[in-house]
Amino acid sequence: MAGRGGGSHLANSTLDGASRSRATTGTRETTKSASAGKTHPDTRHTPADDSEREVDEVAGQPVYYVNDGPKVVALTIDDGPSPVYTPQVLQVLATYGVTASFSMIGENVTYYPSVAREVADAGHTIVNHTWNHVNLTAMRTAQLSSEIDRTTDAIHSATGKLPSMFRAPYGAWSKTLLQYCATEKLLPLDWSVDPADWSRPGVGKIVKTIMNTTRTGSIILEHDGGGNRAQTVAALKIVIPRLLAEGYRFAIP
């Protein structure tokens, strides 16, 4: 999605010198624009039905919505794990009994396997988000498979679990990528609500965007990695109880 949300691959901007040297791109944040309230064909997916998931994959369509009943939404957290912000997000989710999906960068998982394991042990779902948050649209199968497969191996090594979903950085999908997801039985996960928290627009702005654009079936995009995510944590403390008070329930895509 040239210019859409998804964050950089660095876990946070407060890493020690050794961690910074391992992450060769530093603490850069990829330039993107908000896409809150974007519209897409209704490619909704019922997670409990494996046969339906298979149909979605074969059709080669990313999943932008969940379809699990009235006022059911999904919360997705991208670009971690971060030793600073992921535990804070987990604490907020535990406070309100909410389950989320964490799209993890393979490189970060290798740096912080205990944080990835903490996410899995708390009952959340881990999604493959490539090795280092690269745009895969220009890559051939052999190239993109390395990005995806290395990340799957890292997640499995850290948590003992294999991811069943894949999220493309920047929401940038290609036919080759979708075909690979189908081959590997990875559900191609996108989103429908983007508050652009990656750009740190202010807690109030993040909250307003989520509350104004979330509807039944929405998949909400937030970040625990890629930079300073203090605004995201603060916003989650506000929007989660508000959404719950409005009758929304949270599900895994």
Q: Active-site positions? A: 78, 223
Q: Mapping DSSP to helix (H, G, I), strand (E, B) and coil, where does residue 231 land?
A: helix
What tokens does 38 get?
């974007």
* Distance (Å) of CA 216 to CA 176, 213, 239: 31, 10, 15
* Distance (Å) of CA 41 to CA 65, 116, 202, 212, 226: 10, 33, 30, 20, 29
What tokens does 114 get?
């205990």
Alpha helices in the chain (DSSP H): 17-22, 50-59, 85-96, 106-111, 113-121, 141-159, 175-183, 203-213, 230-245
Q: Which residues, in sequence order, are CB contacts of 195 under 8 Å at separation 6+?
A: 34, 36, 201, 205, 206, 207, 209, 210, 220, 221, 222, 235
Rg (CA), the chain: 16
